[in-house]
Amino acid sequence: MLVCRSVKTRAILPVLPVLPVLAVVVLGCSGSTSSIGGGSDSGAAVTTDQAATDVANAYCNRAQACAPAYITISFGDVATCTTRLKATLLPGMGATGSTETPAQYEACAASVPSATCDDLLARTLPAPCQPVPGTLAIGAACAVDGQCASTHCGLPANAACGTCVGLAGAGGACNVDDDCQDGMTCQSNACVAYGAENAMCDTTHPCLPDLGCKSGACTAPSPAGTACQSGAECDNLHGVFCNPVSMMCEAVSFAGANAACGLVNMQLVVCTGPGSLCTGETAPSYAGSCVPYAADGAACDATNGPLCNAGAVCAGGKCAVPDPSQCQ
Domain boundaries, given as residue ranges, for the chain? 5-193+252-320
Note the pLDDT of residue 125: 82
Note the pLDDT of residue 21: 25
User: Could you tell me if 151 and 158 are in contact, meaning their C-beta atoms sit under 8 angstroms apart?
Assistant: no
User: Could you tell me if 224 and 240 are in contact, meaning their C-beta atoms sit under 8 angstroms apart?
Assistant: yes
Distance CA 211, CA 66 (A): 12
Burial of 22 per CB tally in 10 Å (0-12, 13-18, 19+): buried
Note the pLDDT of residue 23: 27
Q: What is the biggest distance separating any 2 CA atoms in the chain, rounded to whole angstroms?
A: 60
Note the pLDDT of residue 68: 95
pTM of this structure? 0.82
Distance CA 225, CA 131 (A): 42
Contacts 24+ apart (CB under 8 A), 274-279: 274/74, 274/75, 274/76, 274/80, 274/84, 274/309, 275/309, 275/310, 277/12, 277/14, 277/305, 277/306, 277/307, 278/14, 278/15, 279/305
Name beta bridge partners: 290: 278
Note the pLDDT of residue 45: 80
User: Could you tell me if 324 and 91 are in contact, meaning their C-beta atoms sit under 8 angstroms apart?
Assistant: yes
Return the amino acid letter for 69. Answer: A
Note the pLDDT of residue 286: 83
Note the pLDDT of residue 29: 34
Q: Which residues of the chain have pLDDT under 70?
A: 1-44
Distance CA 248, CA 242 (A): 5
Note the pLDDT of residue 199: 96
Distance CA 309, CA 312 (A): 6
Note the pLDDT of residue 44: 58
Name beta bridge partners: 277: 291
Distance CA 176, CA 322 (A): 16
